[in-house]
Structure 1
């Protein structure tokens, strides 16, 4: 059963983080938050976006990027999602238990981190006229590609209609 780790580097918008938390719960992924955060985790917008799933979230917090790199297992594979990467997210194979990092909404991942990790930088293709996608959407796109690569091995096999008649 494949497991993935979503990392948000200094997220700024509570509703994005709440939506990402909900996506992580739905996908069986862990969420890692690197401070400083642009909000408090008790913010009502996080709870509203994450709904009642927030209590089921496997959440980890770090005081900064260095704290994050020191606390995760040594030799962990980290992918860095950025609009500046030469390779697309579909060009890599996401290993079990890898980390997929996304930057803050206003600036992305700091360039010094990206420069030091060019080999594992990935991007989502988009039109040149668009600066970036919404953070929550970007996480969902990349996370579900990682799950697809592993055959959605721990997820619901078939959907079932509820007994409620169609209207």
Structure 2
């Protein structure tokens, strides 16, 4: 089920695999709305995914977000493949730093669950598994922070921001 406006088909998309935390999902919807980037949410989510709950998490940005809801991994994959989008997974077990990867317009940048990441079937479907290096002592970054960092690098590389 799709809600909201549509983002440019040539831009990349952000995708969340079974997100656990409504606040992170809301922040990523806001990020997508502000950058003109579509957001896919692959269910089931670990929180109430009703329009009321999303409005609370995404504040007034939900109406501007190009949100696509997918009941499960299978329906997401069918849609992604039909659109010809390359799947790029961000994971703490990635083998390539996200800043050393060559993004292309149309890529889907996928992030796993906050609590457990993504299962092996999701890893197997990815064209690349990227890592955000963390030279500090933290275990992992917040999901919304990771999505923002990835979106910034993808936008920089594919020049989706018009020069001023």
What 5-or-longer segments of structure 1 have no aligned partner? 158-167
Query: Which residue among 113, 117, 135 is the counterpart of 2:122?
Result: 113
Query: Which residue among 75, 94, 111 is the counterpart of 1:102?
Result: 111
Q: 1:129 to 1:28 in 2, by over 3 A?
A: same
CA shift for structure 1 position 43: 6.8
Contact (CA 8 Å) 1:25, 1:53: kept in 2 or not?
yes
Deviates more, 1:63-72 or 1:42-51: 42-51
TM-score under structure 1 normalisation?
A: 0.83
Matched, 1:77 2:86: yes
Contact (CA 8 Å) 2:89, 2:130: kept in 1 or not?
yes
What pairs with 1:1-167 in structure 2 (closer than 5 Å)? Answer: 2-42=10-50, 46-72=54-80, 73=82, 75-114=84-123, 116-117=124-125, 119-127=127-135, 129-154=137-162, 157=164
TM-score under structure 2 normalisation?
A: 0.85
Contact (CA 8 Å) 2:95, 2:131: kept in 1 or not?
yes
RMSD of equivalent CA atoms: 2.1
Q: 1:47 to 1:90 in 2, by over 3 A?
A: same
CA shift for structure 1 position 84: 0.3
Aligned length: 155
What 5-or-longer segments of structure 2 have no aligned partner? 1-7
Bigger CA radius of gyration: 1
Deviations 1:98-120 (A, max 9, x none): 10000010011113321x24650
